[in-house]
Structure 1
Amino acid sequence: MSKAKSILVEHGIEIPFHNRMDFCVGTGRMGLALHKEYYEQLKLVQNVIGFKHIRGHGLFCDDMAICQSYEDECGKQVFEYNFTYVDRVMDSYISLGLRPFLELGFMPEKMASGNQTVFYWKGNVTPPKNYNDWTAMVQALLHHLIERYGKEDVLQWPIEVWNEPNLKSFWKDGDMQEYFKLYEYTALAVKEVNPAFKIGGPAVCGGTDKIWIRSFLEYVRERKLPLDFITRHHYATFLPEKSGHYEYTKLHDLKESFKLLETTREIVDSFDEFCGMDIHITEFNTSYVPNCPLHDTNLNAAYTAAMLSLLGDKHASYSYWTFGDVFEEKGVPFTTFHGGFGMVANGCIPKPTFWTFAFYKQLQGTCIHRSEEAIIVQLPDGNYRGILWNMDVNYTDEPLELEIKLPSKHADYCLISKTVDEECCNPLKLWHDMGEPANLSTEQIALLKEHAVPLIKLESMVSTELEIDISFKLKPNAVIYFELKKVERKSDRGYSYERILKGEK
């Protein structure tokens, strides 16, 4: 059995669609950017997709070595700053066409008021002992970045204060008022460097997000604090179950998942001062754990395709967490396919979700159709591009047959399709069939890369009517990108393709 649906696109139709998938992408902590494999994965992502900004944790953690101190002649602790590693990281980002979405955190050990940490790499999540020391460091960093990269450029880098302070694991005791204090000191300090900097928060995740966002806006309003945008996170799975090194979970219904985001927009718009203010989702993915095998699957790619068709409706940006699998929140991964957040597996092997983003990057025209399984745009030259998906969240194993009618002219057309599904672009299954080797050889990596690409098909078509019919059969969890292009054939003198196929003299 298979599902069958028809799509009829009428001439002149235009549907709102805001494709902002390339504004920002997530990364592991900043210190990982010094790894060769990290740079190679990011280079692949930028060459094929191309994001504008990148956001990650750990800017002020000790492995970045920014915060240093010494005792003066009176025995007083004096802070000084070392920007050697920051420069290396920022230089590498800029060389790849990226600019940071600066997340200010976590707390340097020398400034921390406590010893609570998060993750394998022990990011300190306590408030500063002295808020003036914290703001002096933030200002010193911003002054340095302006001096090195130029005011015109750096003032375009968004700034976010901390990460998920509504969770006790990310902010000591999940203390709301203490976070508000951190935001106040930080926002005022940033604007003192230059009022043109854009700053926002509270970077909350689900659970207590409604309480936090409303209380945060009330605090900002009452204190008349700077605020240029709101930030939050979004994940779409139930609580995971742990087994060995891995955590397994199931996806939310897509519509139910998006209701959480609608609430945030409603809260923000309920304040006259903040109505219509930009909301940035600075992290999103299916699961929120970095060892969830779902991330490596074709289902993840299809579900992400559905999310990308909707996220731009009410959000200024939405940053996929993360671009690659050089990532260590729960320790160094044991295997290549370990359920990491990234769209690229270690060894620079694209996962299916990588292609979802690559396909969406091509949707730059006028939207003429958007539904639960498809989005289609028309380019200024009249050609079409579209993405189709068949996410099998309930594991029904049903294919989807799509019949699409598009306005056309009397002309020759070429239909190009690129298919990512569980048969033709599923490196996870190939790795499994190879015996799930923990440490891949050069030959194994090469084979996985060969398989981790879409299946490309081409078909010549002739339209003699005012509409043209195209059809696709999508296997479960397939994502298909297509282009329908008018062709003006101009054969060289004496050249006959048909004669070649028939073997004629």
Structure 2
Amino acid sequence: MSSEKIIVKKDNRMEFNNHVDYCVGTGRLGLALTEEYLKELEFVQNMIGFSYIRGHGLFSDDVAIYNEYEEDGETKVEYNYTYIDRIFDSFLRLGIRPYLELGFMPGQLASGTQTIFYWKGNTTPPKDYKKWTDMVIALLAHLKKRYGEETVTWPIEVWNEPNLPGFWYKADMQEYFKLFKETFLAIKNYDSRYKVGGPAICGVRDAEWIEAFLEFCKKEGIKPDRITRHHYTVEFPERIGHYDYSKLEDPKMRFENLQSTRDIVDSYDEFRGLPIHLSEFSTSYTPRGVIHDTNLNAAYLAGQLAGLGDVNEAYSYWTFGDVFEEQGVQHSLFHGGFGMVADGNIPKPTFWTFYFYKQLKMFGTDCVYRDDKAVIVKNDSGYAGVLWNIGEDEIIADLDFELPEDGEYTLIKKTVDETCCNPLKLWHDLGEPAYPSKAEKEMIKSAAWPLTTSSVEVSKNGTVDVSFTLKKHGVLYFTLTKRDFTPDRGYDYDKVISFH
């Protein structure tokens, strides 16, 4: 057990950019046609409320936008927006808007047959760049007509992870640069208000790709509206059966990697200060990464969320829910899926990390304390904070708060750890049912909520001392606010609880 003393001064200010609710990831867009997908998204939106949602497969065949046909000996093109309208209508009904990732390639427009994933997204360049850009512009025009001028604010990203040969044929850098240029210029020619980003790379040869991309843009006189990249934080996984086991990387090293991208961008006069979007981030990068279902994942990501805003304007967790099919349909309830919510709207511990940071954002933006174990903000009524413990030992944090006036304050704690909020353990103890019954799901869900406790703290001489205990892999959210005590006539709480 370790103990730490923290003094929280009300006039202190520290940098903390909390963009937790800007965007969230999803499985391929076609999954939004399913009932369970929409139930999970509605739950997440009601509880957290993200502004944008990003996923693959906008132009893949299951969404069926692009279609070629023969007429009078000529190949012609027609577009079908039936499914994408249904998908985007559902998104907007739930208060979330698309972050438009332009990909993958429609089969009839593809230059090759290479595909990726269980659902066979085509990852080859277009056989005709004019037909590709025509399709992109036609979609934007359709969306503007259907949803109005607000669509020009929807972020656009060209492709996904072209630095991996599985996602872009042979990871051909120059071919991707051509795709970006043609797409960027076509969109800007149609309506310059759209914000278009790239190169959407993951961590393989990231510095090389970012530098080459910026050199290309500089040479071509192109200025992307933002730079996009991905951020995952595990070593190469070990596959056992259906599942991937990975070790977490050092958080400091991962933040340094993000800083390196910021430094590269800012080394160019033409691009200095361009926003950087992490259009995907998580711990494990596989949809069978068992760490996703754990309390450790929640605690580690609490530390990530405290610092991702330092050099990134936006970051999008991959993904909101477990309806996901990249490696096929899942084999079990807890299968290491990317989602922060499991089947049946069972919130995983990681869900609460995001919920806590959203609550923190709603409470206040003045950060008065931040380190590698805590972030605390204040408003006129008091303080709110998130604390986390990614270690094996229990931590006791003693905090002295400076308060605007003496008196009574209400302390509320919401705790998520392996003892009080661990649906994975209950599922395991039940025998790991792959296809739990409705009753079993409800039982598992009952173990998926934070422990909420409260107390009245008395401030003396402008301070109050509070202790927080964080168990192994714990995350804790608290508020300490001025108590407004207004009892009804004749009601005596102490007398009520003293009855025998």
Q: 2:291 aligns with which of 283, 289, 294?
A: 294
Say whether residues 1:320 and 2:307 are aligned partners.
Answer: no
Aligned residues of 2:164 and 2:204 also touching (Cα < 8 A) = no
* Secondary structure of 2:263 counterpart: helix
| Residue equivalent to 1:145 | 143
Residue-by-residue CA offset, 1:163-205 (whole Å, 9 max, x unaligned): 0000000000000000000001100111122110000100000
Deviation at 1:493, TM superposition (A): 1.6
CA contact (8 A) 1:336 1:347 kept: no
Match of 2:161 among 155, 161, 164: 164
SS in 2 for 1:363: helix
For residues 398 and 491 of structure 1, what CA distance do their matches in structure 2 show?
42
Alignment match of 1:134 (pick from 125, 132, 147)? 132
Matched letter for residue 83 of structure 2:
Y
- Equivalent residue letter for 2:349: P
Q: Unpaired segments of 5 or more residues in structure 1?
A: none
1:226 is displaced (CA, Å) by: 4.2
Give the C-alpha shift of residue 363 in structure 1. Answer: 1.4
1:478 deviates by 0.3
2:269 counterpart residue number: 272
Q: Structure 1 residue 10: deviation in Å?
A: 2.0
Asked if the contact 1:111–1:129 (Cα under 8 Å) also holds between the matched residues in 2, the reply is yes
Cα distance in 2 for partners of 1:353, 1:106 equals 29
Equivalent in the alignment of 1:374: 374
Query: What amino acid maps onto 2:287 in structure 1?
Result: P
Q: Which runs of 4+ in 1 moved over 2 A?
A: 501-504
Match of 1:401 among 391, 396, 399: 396
> In structure 1, what is the equivalent of residue 32 of structure 2?
33
2:113 alignment counterpart = 115
2:460 corresponds to 1:464 = yes
1:367-446 alignment, distance < 5 Å: 367-379=367-379, 381-392=380-391, 397-408=392-403, 409-446=405-442
User: Match for residue 82 of structure 2?
Assistant: 84
Where does residue 68 of structure 1 map in the other structure? 67
Q: Distance in 2 between matches of 1:420 and 1:289?
A: 24
Residue 118 of structure 1: CA displacement?
A: 0.6
CA distance in 1, matches of 2:498, 2:353: 39
Quote the offset at 1:501 in angstroms: 2.2
Which residue identity is paired with 2:86?
A: R
Q: Larger deviation: 133-142 or 404-413?
A: 404-413
Q: What secondary structure is seen at the aligned counterpart in 1 of 2:153?
A: coil
Q: Distance in 1 between matches of 2:383 and 2:421?
A: 24
**Contact residue 8 and residue 401 of structure 2 kept, 8 A:** yes
- Measured in 2, the distance between the counterparts of 1:479 and 1:24 equals 22
Q: What SS does the aligned partner of 2:44 have?
A: helix
Task: Measure, in 2, the Cα distance between the counterparts of 1:11 and 1:149.
Answer: 45
The C-alpha deviation readout for 1:428-453, integer Å capped at 9, x for no partner, is 11101010001010001111111100
Secondary structure of 1:185 counterpart: helix
Distance in 1 between residues matched to 2:176 and 2:204, nearest whole Å = 17
- Matching residue of 1:236: 233
Match of 1:8 in 2: 7
TM-score, scaled relative to structure 2:
0.98
Residues of 2 paired with 1:10 and 1:196: CA distance? 43
- Whether the 8 Å contact between 1:24 and 1:317 is mirrored in structure 2 is yes
CA distance in 1, matches of 2:10, 2:19: 26
TM-superposed CA distance for 1:406, in Å, is 0.5
Percent identity reads 54
Matched, 1:55 2:54: yes
The one-character-per-residue Cα deviations of 1:91-150 (angstroms, maximum 9, x if unpaired) are 000011111110000000000000000111110000000000000100110000000000
Checking the alignment, whether the CA contact within 8 Å between 1:160 and 1:199 is kept in structure 2 is yes
Q: Is the 8 A contact 1:161 1:201 kept in 2?
A: yes
- Structure 1 CA distance for aligned equivalents of residues 204 and 82 of structure 2: 38
Shift of 1:30: 0.4
Structure 2 counterpart of 1:49, one-letter code: I
Instruction: Give the secondary structure class of the aligned counterpart of 2:234.
Output: coil
| Contact 1:232–1:283 (Cα < 8 Å) also in 2 | yes
SS of equivalent residue, structure 2 residue 478 = strand
1:466 deviates by 1.2
Q: CA RMSD in A?
A: 0.9
- Number of residue equivalences: 496
